Amino acid sequence: MQLAELLKDWPCTVKGGSIRVEVFGIEDYAQGVQKGDLFVVRKGRKSDGLKYIDIAIENGAVGVVIEDEKLLDTLKLSVPLIWVPNCLKFMSYSAAKINNYPAEAMQVIAITGTNGKTTVSHFIGQLLHALHKNVIVIGTNGIFINGVEVKLSYEPLTTLQPKHLHKILKIAVNRGVQYVVLEASSMGLAKHRLDDCSINIGVFLNLAEDHIEDHGSYDKYKAAKQLLASLADQLVLNGDDSFCRTVGLQTKKKKAYFGLGNRVDYQLQLLAEGLTTSTCCLQSNKGQKVFSIPFVGEHHLQNAIAAITTVSELGFQIEEICNAAETLHLPSGRLESIKNDLNLSIYIDYAHTEAALRAVLQTLRKTVKGDLIVVFSCGGDRDKHKRIKMGAVASKYADLIYLTTDNPRSEDPEVINAQIAAGFTAKQQYEMILDRAQAIERAIRSAKEGDTILIAGKGHEKTQTIGTEQFEFSDYECVKSVIEKCMKDRVE
What three-state secondary structure class fits 454? strand
Give residue limits of the domains in the chain. Answer: 3-92, 102-325, 336-491
The answer to whether 68 is a known ligand-binding residue is no
Q: How confident is the model at residue 275 (pLDDT cuts 50, 70, 90)?
A: confident
The answer to whether 114 is a known ligand-binding residue is yes
Who contacts 65 (Cβ-Cβ below 8 Å, separation ≥6)? 26, 38, 39, 40, 41, 82, 83, 84, 87, 90
* Per-residue pLDDT reduced to its tens digit, 392-405: 999 999 999 999 99
User: For residue 216, is pLDDT > 90?
Assistant: no
The answer to whether 118 is a known ligand-binding residue is yes
How far apart, in Å, are the Cα atoms of 193 and each of 82, 216, 219, 246, 310?
20, 19, 20, 24, 22
What three-state secondary structure class fits 297? coil
User: For residue 470, is pLDDT > 80?
Assistant: yes
Amino acid found at 433: I
The answer to whether 332 is a known ligand-binding residue is no
CA–CA–CA angle 240, 244, 248 (5° rounding): 115
Q: Does domain 336-491 have CATH number 3.90.190.20?
A: yes
The answer to whether 251 is a known ligand-binding residue is no
The answer to whether 185 is a known ligand-binding residue is yes
The answer to whether 407 is a known ligand-binding residue is yes
Can you give the pLDDT at residue 150? 95
Can you give the pLDDT at residue 383? 86
Q: Is 1 exposed, middle or buried (0-12, 13-18, 19+ CB in 10 A)?
A: middle
CATH of region 102-325: 3.40.1190.10
Do 306 and 108 meet the contact criterion of CB atoms below 8 Å apart? Answer: no
Do 42 and 51 meet the contact criterion of CB atoms below 8 Å apart? Answer: no
* Per-residue pLDDT reduced to its tens digit, 3-44: 999 999 999 999 999 999 999 999 999 999 999 999 999 988
Do 476 and 331 meet the contact criterion of CB atoms below 8 Å apart? Answer: no
Residue whose C-alpha is closest to residue 78's, from 17, 23, 13, 12: 17
User: For residue 214, is pLDDT > 90?
Assistant: no
- Per the document, the length of the chain is 492
User: For residue 167, is pLDDT > 80?
Assistant: yes
pLDDT, averaged across the chain: 96
Residue whose C-alpha is closest to residue 114's, from 16, 215, 40: 215
The answer to whether 406 is a known ligand-binding residue is yes
How many helices and strands, by DSSP H and E, does the chain display?
17, 24
User: For residue 266, is pLDDT > 90?
Assistant: yes
Task: Give the percent of the chain with pLDDT over 90.
Answer: 93
The answer to whether 115 is a known ligand-binding residue is yes
Question: Distance between CA atoms of 79 and 37, rounded to whole angstroms?
Answer: 11
Can you give the pLDDT at residue 212? 75
Please state whether beta strands 287-293 and 336-338 pair in parallel, antiparallel, or not at all (unpaired).
unpaired
* Per-residue pLDDT reduced to its tens digit, 69-90: 999 999 999 999 999 999 999 9
Average pLDDT, stretch 440-456? 97
Average pLDDT, stretch 268-296? 95
Can you give the pLDDT at residue 43? 86
The answer to whether 457 is a known ligand-binding residue is yes
The answer to whether 461 is a known ligand-binding residue is yes
The answer to whether 303 is a known ligand-binding residue is no
Can you give the pLDDT at residue 44? 81
Q: Is 342 exposed, middle or buried (0-12, 13-18, 19+ CB in 10 A)?
A: middle
Question: Distance between CA atoms of 331 and 340, rounded to whole angstroms?
Answer: 20
Can you name the residues that pair with 281 across neighbouring β-strands? 269, 290
Can you give the pLDDT at residue 491? 77
The pTM of this model reads 0.92
Q: How confident is the model at residue 204 (pLDDT cuts 50, 70, 90)?
A: very high
Question: Distance between CA atoms of 377 and 408, rounded to whole angstroms?
Answer: 9
The answer to whether 274 is a known ligand-binding residue is no
* Per-residue pLDDT reduced to its tens digit, 228-240: 999 999 999 999 9
* Per-residue pLDDT reduced to its tens digit, 89-136: 999 999 999 999 999 999 999 999 999 999 999 999 999 999 999 999
* Per-residue pLDDT reduced to its tens digit, 318-342: 999 999 999 999 999 999 999 999 9
Can you give the pLDDT at residue 310? 98
Can you give the pLDDT at residue 218? 87
The answer to whether 294 is a known ligand-binding residue is no
Average pLDDT, stretch 372-395? 96
The helix (run of H) or strand (run of E) holding residue 389 is helix 386-397
Of 3.40.1390.10, 3.40.50.2300, 3.20.20.100, 3.30.450.70, the CATH number of 3-92 is 3.40.1390.10
Can you give the pLDDT at residue 342? 96
